[in-house]
Amino acid sequence: MTTSDIALPATGGFRLRGEHLNRVEALSDVVFGFALTLLGVSVEVPKTFDQLLGTMREFPAFAICFAILISLWHDHYKFFRRYGLEDRRTIFLNGLLLFIVILYVYPLKFLFSLLVTLSTTTGDPMARMPDGKLLLMIRTDQAQWITFIYGIGVAAVYAVLALLYAHALRLRGTLHLNPLEAFETRERIVGNLLRSLLGLTAACGAVAIGGYSGRWAGYAAFGLIPVVGIIHHSIAKRRREQLIAPKKQETRDAADTL
């Protein structure tokens, strides 16, 4: 990529090399849209008010899952806007990310449906089948495995995102990354690796504790994700401001010259 610094639009001090939608992003948007559809798809339209109420009880879990996928899509969007990569390694890693997203749609929906049921009812979590029968959603000996599955999914997603940013950093010469852009890229790698580590911690902790109690390992680890994100952002903020300051000064000097 030989585009000059001046020719590239920028946001937040980071130049945007992927200004136009490419085929990799187009496919990715289709897959993310399909994943969102799978989250909300229903076998049939409710025929009674009781069935409608039963469907609406699933809305909180759907809203949480929707927010998670939109957040992941936004991270994906920012990566391609900033770097505009379409090489083989990027296509492979992007394909791996999309595979994990599709693979984890139903585990994601099941987990948060289970958590909503546990938090809004007393006793064992029960689910109503299409024929009206109530069945136990998960047995005690299975409970730790749903947290394990989700934790591995979180770890895999953020590990792939870290690999994408690491690939972009390796191409910093080709992409002509300036010091601020290289710094931001490294920070993205660190942030995604920290989230991946928390996912692994949740998965291993759930299995180590076992049973319904294993979910507390998940609560603790996943609850730390926003905390770690805030701390990491605060640590990086000062260095980011130091890198942005000279750019602002150059802009002022250029304006004064004119």
Query: Does 3 score more than 70 pLDDT?
Result: no
What's the whole-number mean pLDDT along residues 37-54? 71
**Closest C-alpha to 207, from 146, 117, 156, 158:** 146
Query: Does 187 score more than 80 pLDDT?
Result: yes
Query: Does 247 score more than 70 pLDDT?
Result: no
Distance CA 195, CA 228 (A): 8
Write the pLDDT tens digit of every residue in 156-177. Answer: 999 999 999 999 999 999 999 9
The label of the residue with tokens 């504790």 reads 209
3-state secondary structure the chain: CCCCCCCCCEECCEECCCCCCCHHHHHHHHHHHHHHHHHHCCCCCCCCHHHHHHHHCCHHHHHHHHHHHHHHHHHHHHHHHHHCCCCHHHHHHHHHHHHHHHHCHHHHHHHHHHHHHHHHCCCCCEEECCCCCEEECCCHHHHHHHHHHHHHHHHHHHHHHHHHHHHHHHCHHHHCCCHHHHHHHHHHHHHHHHHHHHHHHHHHHHHHHCCHHHHHHHHHHHHHHHHHHHHHHHHHHHHHHHHHHHHHHHHHHHHHHC
Q: Is the pTM of this model over 0.85?
A: no
Q: Please give the residue that has the higher pLDDT: either 37 or 10.
A: 37
Which residues, in sequence order, are CB contacts of 24 under 8 Å at separation 6+?
80, 86, 90, 91, 94
Query: Does 97 score more than 80 pLDDT?
Result: yes
> Residue 99 — pLDDT band, cuts 50, 70, 90?
very high
Write the pLDDT tens digit of every residue in 46-85. Answer: 677 776 776 777 788 888 889 999 999 999 999 999 999 9
Domain spans, the chain: 16-137, 141-258
CA 101, distance to chain mean position in Å, is 9
